[in-house]
């Protein structure tokens, strides 16, 4: 209560009449704690700003230090609804429209997750990277900007960003009027991951599954040759393996993850490109790089994603896939966990109650939630599930789709129902929103969620 009262006092704003006659840049600059870092040119009728806001490192102890959290604003108009895009990772420093933003013709605030650079406190107290601290970051941004953007609000995010949008709703359910979470996993019980094993025995065709298993087996059979090649590549490219431990271990983890990475971002039609077990080492090497990425398990590749792996080790949970076909070939079986991707000195003690709490909120108190999954996306093996107390909420699965699933990938009937719910939550008349959904290539041709590396 005291925090809410203190925040309300801190984010007081001028009168609506005064705001209406003030340029939007000046209004943003006047928001408490907000600094406009730059304005970039963007297609009309939008304006695009990169900003920062001063946040407490610890929202329970606001006097114990602050940091600057980066976010962006794609401004459409103060008379339009606003989308809070929770990235879960870094925020792209370029203008784009998420699908909900297009469908409601709205403004969009995209927020960088705390501890992803440059939005990292110095020195970094990693114990403050929790779902509640991050949700409270988002709450303060909403409170600071709502006096400007006073129409309905919708939150959205994809993958970890979708998870983040649900965590924000759990702690601050009234900040927004609805949430669209795309391909967001929910690992309720971290030690129970049999759902992933069931997924990998059923996804795609038997022929494709067999081909993926075979190329993994063959890669590990050629370990000596391919690890030497990996070490040579790393040396030539100034890459190191201090966090994971060695090129050999990083190579094994890469092979472990290729099937997951394949289904995360490829389609079943791509199965024809999986190298056979008889393929040359050059072909297998090139395929590993294409599907997983040689750089992904180096120190330089892991470093930007340490906050994710820390959160997975601390509260979110992390998938454990059994991979029985590799059991006799692995040297580090059971070690491919989130903790292996972060420096030893910051490995936390896991908090198992965090996801149980979120799961209970969704099932008992969740309101106006829309979940969209891809049928062939391994992250969807453990989805958010609606419960007896969930109201005015929907879950859809896009047939044949991967981690890029969205409303447009649903059947026409499903997409119409989902869009109607979103527009109703946003207070937008359907004809206006559908007209606004026309593509603006400079804003719509990039999906930031697909810029992410494979992060299992």
- Is 22 exposed, middle or buried (CB count within 10 Å of its CB: 0-12, 13-18, 19+)? middle
DSSP-H helix ranges across 266-352: 281-291, 299-302, 306-311
pLDDT in tens, the chain (456 residues): 232 223 333 333 344 444 557 899 999 999 999 999 999 999 999 999 999 999 999 999 999 999 999 999 999 999 999 999 999 999 999 999 999 999 999 999 999 999 999 999 999 999 999 999 999 999 999 999 999 999 999 999 999 999 999 999 999 999 999 999 999 999 999 999 999 999 999 999 999 999 999 999 999 999 999 999 999 999 999 999 999 999 999 999 999 999 999 999 999 999 999 999 999 999 999 999 999 999 999 999 999 999 999 999 999 999 999 999 999 999 999 999 999 999 999 999 999 999 999 999 999 999 999 999 999 999 999 999 999 999 999 999 999 999 999 999 999 999 999 999 999 999 998 665 554 557 787 787 765 554 444 444
Query: Going from the N-terminus, what domains does the chain have, and what CATH number goes with each?
Result: 24-189+353-451 (3.40.50.1820), 200-346 (no CATH)
**Whole-number Å distance between alpha carbons of 354 and 107:** 31
CA distance 70 to 376: 33
Identify the H or E element spanning 347: none
Q: How far is C-alpha 448 from the chain's CA centre?
A: 9
Residue 331 to residue 246: CA distance in whole angstroms: 12
**Continuous segment of H or E residues that includes residue 276:** none
Whole-angstrom Cα distance, residue 68 to residue 63? 15
Q: At 153, which helix (H) or strand (E)? A: strand 153-158
pTM: 0.92
């Amino acid at each position: 209560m005291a925090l809410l009262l203190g925040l309300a006092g801190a984010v007081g704003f001028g009168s609506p009449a005064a705001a209406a006659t003030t340029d939007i840049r000046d209004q943003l600059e006047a928001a408490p704690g907000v600094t406009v870092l730059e304005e970039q040119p963007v297609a009309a009728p939008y304006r695009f700003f990169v900003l920062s806001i001063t946040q407490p490192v610890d929202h329970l102890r606001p006097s114990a230090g602050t940091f600057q959290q980066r976010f962006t604003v794609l401004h459409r108009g103060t008379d339009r609804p606003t989308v809070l895009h929770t990235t879960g990772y870094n925020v792209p420093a370029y203008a784009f429209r998420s699908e909900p933003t297009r469908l409601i013709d709205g403004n969009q605030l995209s927020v960088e997750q705390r501890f992803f650079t440059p939005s990292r406190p110095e020195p970094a107290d990693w114990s403050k990277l929790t779902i509640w601290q991050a949700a409270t970051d988002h709450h303060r941004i909403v409170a600071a900007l709502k006096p400007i953007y006073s129409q309905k609000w919708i939150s959205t995010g994809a993958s970890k960003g979708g998870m983040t949008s649900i965590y924000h709703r759990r702690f601050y359910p009234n900040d927004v009027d609805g949430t669209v979470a795309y391909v967001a996993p929910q690992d309720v019980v971290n030690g129970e991951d049999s759902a992933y094993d069931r997924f990998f025995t059923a996804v795609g065709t038997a022929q494709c599954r067999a081909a993926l298993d075979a190329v993994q087996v063959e890669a590990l059979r050629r370990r000596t040759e391919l690890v030497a090649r990996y070490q040579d590549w790393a040396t030539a490219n100034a890459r190191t393996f201090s966090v994971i431990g060695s090129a050999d271990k990083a190579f094994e983890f890469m092979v472990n993850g290729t099937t997951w990475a394949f289904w995360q971002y490829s389609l079943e039609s791509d199965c024809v490109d999986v190298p056979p077990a008889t393929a040359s080492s050059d072909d297998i090497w090139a395929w590993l790089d294409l599907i997983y990425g040689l750089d992904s398990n180096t120190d330089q590749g892991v470093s930007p994603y340490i906050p994710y792996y820390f959160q997975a080790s601390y509260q979110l949970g992390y998938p454990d896939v059994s991979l029985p076909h590799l059991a006799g070939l692995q040297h580090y079986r059971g070690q491919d966990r989130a903790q292996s991707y972060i420096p030893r000195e910051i490995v936390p003690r896991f908090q198992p109650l965090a996801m149980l709490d979120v799961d209970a909120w969704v099932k008992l108190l969740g309101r106006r939630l829309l979940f969209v999954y891809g049928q062939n996306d391994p992250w969807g093996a453990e989805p958010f599930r609606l419960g007896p107390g969930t109201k005015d909420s929907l879950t859809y699965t896009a047939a044949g789709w991967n981690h890029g699933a969205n409303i447009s990938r649903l059947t026409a009937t499903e997409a119409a129902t989902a869009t109607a719910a979103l527009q109703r939550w946003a207070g937008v008349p359907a004809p206006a929103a559908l007209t606004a959904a026309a593509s603006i290539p400079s804003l719509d041709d990039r999906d930031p969620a697909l810029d992410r590396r494979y992060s299992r």
